[in-house]
Amino acid sequence: MSDAQSLYAPNWLTRPDHPAELNRTIWTDSFQRNHGGELTIDGIAASELVEEFDTPQYVFSEDTFRARARGYRRAFEDAFARYGAQASVYYAGKSFLCTAVARWAHEEGLCLDTASGGELAIALRAQVPGQNIALHGNNKSYDEIKRAIKHGVGRVVVDSIDELKLITDVYAELCAESVAEGLEPYPAVPVLIRITPGVHASTHESIATAHEDQKFGMSLQPGTARLAGLEADELEYWSTTEDESYAMLAAGILAVTDSLEFRGIHCHIGSQIFEAQGFEQAADTALTFMHAVNQKYGLSLLELDLGGGYGIGYTEADTPRSIEQITVSIADAVAATCERLGMTIPHMSFEPGRSISGPSGVTLYTVGTIKNVSIEDEHGQIRVRRYVSVDGGMSDNARPVLYDADYTVTLANRAPVGEQVLSRVVGKHCESGDIVVRYCYLPADLQAGDILAVPATGAYCYVLGSNYNYLSRPPVIATSAGEAAHPIIRRQSEDEMLALDTGF
């Protein structure tokens, strides 16, 4: 790549010798090109999808989702079975959730991780059994906790001592109501406490969640128990002192609270992470703390959840590990730590979200205006960058503006042959930062009306979407080989979008 090119493109971007080829680090086998060079998703041509459902639209491959969900479940089960241990997989619904996806995850043997009352409502509407659902969140409301208890949610991941108190209060109220009606009281609420393992994951700061200075988890640092604001006699009642960690104080409270079933520990280091070391370090830290809790309070905690965060391919620069590499390396690290500590491997749980849903999705756009912009480089030479505008943008994919996320793109309605031109795909919003694909090569003969496909948009695109500039929300269209494409979330109409405006 020349010096001039490097001004306008990152070093990882290469001019494609075979632009019709689909990089299998990014595109799963659900995405192919037919004999005419057109992109197909589970055998359905992009032009057919656009003719029926218009653009922009998210296309979500049920086949890819199910294969990756099944792959994670089997791989984790097999990796830990080598050590005589068991593992469960919770699909992290925050990456993308609707009733169809919740059912697919459940049918593939996965549990479901929810992070709000709304996500919990979707899981319940999809008839996922309560015991197969987890409830996360750093600020759960009274109503969210009440719903979780009433529906027998299998575990609540507790993020603070204040939350422990709130759950205890809600539980007491519900049991009093139940007894007053002549019914049995509710069983103790199963909880995990979320710790902050202090692992600095190699990812964007906004999606790194294991360092001290952020909102999630309970600190393991000695002396942080004093941050709970309890008096000395209260600390003594919970068998701890100010010299202990905040997380150990929470464990002490749980050890003697009958209304809460202390099942184990949870930690999560972040998202879109490629290296194995962070996960292995987190496992060592969490297990060491778990062992200390067992020893101090005479417990035998049953479960450790190590979260998710496994990276996927968005561009040719990304190097995601295979499902097998991820699961085997984590199982080996857990087994080695447990052997060092002299403890039995607990029931292990994991929460892949993006790495299941992300590769399942692609967004289809229609090209509108195309503009060449002149830029003067450091040598005083005039260079050209081509801007390709599409009919969506930051309202359907906020990740580029939120996280400086990079994507790739391909021409979908025909083969991208001939000369390839360095381009930037942008949206139609009234923002200069409304960039869909920052750096890419697209055919020189690209024209208005062509269809572009942006892969790996199955995670954190629809769920982060908005009505910015009053664009209505696109549909999510499900595909499966041999089946007709159909909406699992329909397109929002303009009337629906404006219905919240009381003056409309």
pLDDT string in tens for the chain (504-residue length) = 343 444 567 889 999 999 999 999 999 999 999 999 999 999 999 999 999 999 999 999 999 999 999 999 999 999 999 999 999 999 999 999 999 999 999 999 999 999 999 999 999 999 999 999 999 999 999 999 999 999 999 999 999 999 999 999 999 999 999 999 999 999 999 999 999 987 765 444 444 444 566 788 999 998 887 777 777 767 776 667 777 889 999 999 999 999 999 999 999 988 788 887 888 899 999 999 999 999 999 999 999 999 998 999 999 999 999 999 999 999 999 999 999 999 999 999 999 999 999 999 999 999 999 999 987 766 677 878 899 999 999 999 999 999 899 999 999 999 999 999 999 999 999 999 999 999 999 999 999 999 999 999 999 999 999 999 999 999 999 999 999 999 999 999 999 999 999 997
Taking the model in full, what pTM does it have?
0.94
Under a CB-based contact definition with an 8 Å cutoff, are residues 407 and 456 in contact? yes
352 is in an annotated binding site: yes
pLDDT value, residue 209: 46
Q: Under CATH, what is the fold of the domain 136-351?
A: TIM Barrel (3.20.20)
Q: Is the peptide bond before 197 cis (omega within 30 degrees of 0)?
A: no
108 is in an annotated binding site: no
pLDDT at 200: 60
Q: For residue 163, say whether it is annotated as part of any ligand binding site.
A: no
Write a three-state SS string for 271-320.
Answer: CCECCCHHHHHHHHHHHHHHHHHHHHHCCCCCEEECCCCECCCCCCCCCC
* Alpha-carbon separation of residue 123 from 97, 106, 120, 131, 241 (angstroms): 9, 10, 5, 11, 40
Alpha carbon of residue 12 to chain centroid: 25
**What gap in Å lies between CA 308 and CA 18, rounded to an integer?**
35
The pLDDT value recorded for residue 310 is 92
Question: d(Cα 197, Cα 305) in Å, to the nearest integer?
Answer: 12
Q: Are 360 and 458 in contact (CB under 8 A)?
A: yes
What pLDDT is stored for residue 7 in this prediction?
Answer: 53
Q: Is 353 annotated as a binding residue?
A: yes
Partner residues linked to 376 by β-bridges = 382
Which pLDDT does position 294 carry in this prediction? 97
**The predicted structure's pLDDT at residue 21:** 97
* Residues annotated as catalytic (active site), given as ranges: 430
Single out the residue of 189, 163, 160 nearest to residue 259, CA to CA.
189
User: Which of the 8 DSSP states describes residue 243?
Assistant: T
State yes or no: 90 annotated in a binding site: no
Residue 351 among known ligand-binding residues: yes
The predicted pLDDT at position 378 comes to 60
186 is in an annotated binding site: no
The answer to whether residues 320 and 310 touch, using CB atoms and an 8 Å cutoff, is: yes
The ranges assigned to domains in the chain are 31-61+359-497, 136-351
Q: Is 38 annotated as a binding residue?
A: no
Superfamily of domain 31-61+359-497: Lyase, Ornithine Decarboxylase; Chain A, domain 1 (2.40.37.10)
